[in-house]
Amino acid sequence: MALDQQTIVRVYRRRAPRYDFTANLYYLIGFRLGACRRAAVAQLALQPGDTVVEVGCGTGLNFPLLQRVIGPAGRIIGVDLTDAMLSQARRRIEREGWRNVDLVACDAARYEFPGRLGGILSTFALMLVPEYESVIERGARALAPGRRWVVADLKVPEWPGARLCARALVPFCRPFAVTLDLAERRPWESIARHMKNTTVSPRFFGFAYVATGEA
């Protein structure tokens, strides 16, 4: 059963101080989430000087990847629901000396995207937002023509027996508020409805994906 928003906030407040370390524990079951994050950022096809919004930025794990592409003339807007996760992101920003990152404490469903964006990214976060369809639609309208929305997340594969395997993996994901019904959400279909030139690349035997659409 999907968790309510207050419970999700409590979960991520508790996990925030050790989030970067514990997220890497997915390697123990063969999920190289870092590779998935890198693939998602590459799919954005950002350019130096671009402004990119990251929905569910958490502790800022993707910020170094984005900075390498957009450079100091670009801008990152990190949006997250949980204050403790943003506190960790702020420490990362201060440690790295970045001056081009803005953090926004906001429910993704209520966030107002600025216009003419160079890209929008969400990795392992959008499945937690019940209103993901609306988030994707509004984000698509905010992108400059030809620019991309990219989502990387977990899902239940479609091959025979996959659901049973997914059930077995749920205990590894539950500490991050991920449940089986959340993994059955299909944000890539929302991307296809509101964008063009969409692609979906399965990863980790179909238990994860990277979906891309162009405005």
What's the pLDDT score for residue 179? Answer: 67
What's the pLDDT score for residue 25? Answer: 55
User: What residues contact 169, with CB distance under 8 A and at least 6 apart?
Assistant: 29, 207
Please give the Cα distance from 189 to 132 (Å, whole number).
11
What is the chain's mean pLDDT, rounded? 87
pLDDT at 162 over 60: no
What's the pLDDT score for residue 132? Answer: 96
Question: Predicted confidence band at 28 (pLDDT cuts at 50, 70, 90)?
Answer: very low
Domains along the chain?
A: 5-214 (3.40.50.150)
Per the CB < 8 A criterion, the answer to whether 166 and 175 are in contact is no
CA–CA distances in Å: residue 111 to residues 52, 55, 119: 14, 9, 15
List, for residues 58-107, the tens digit of each pLDDT value. 999 999 999 999 999 999 999 999 999 999 999 999 999 999 999 999 99
List, for residues 97-140, the tens digit of each pLDDT value. 999 999 999 999 999 999 999 999 999 999 999 999 999 999 99
* pTM for this prediction: 0.89
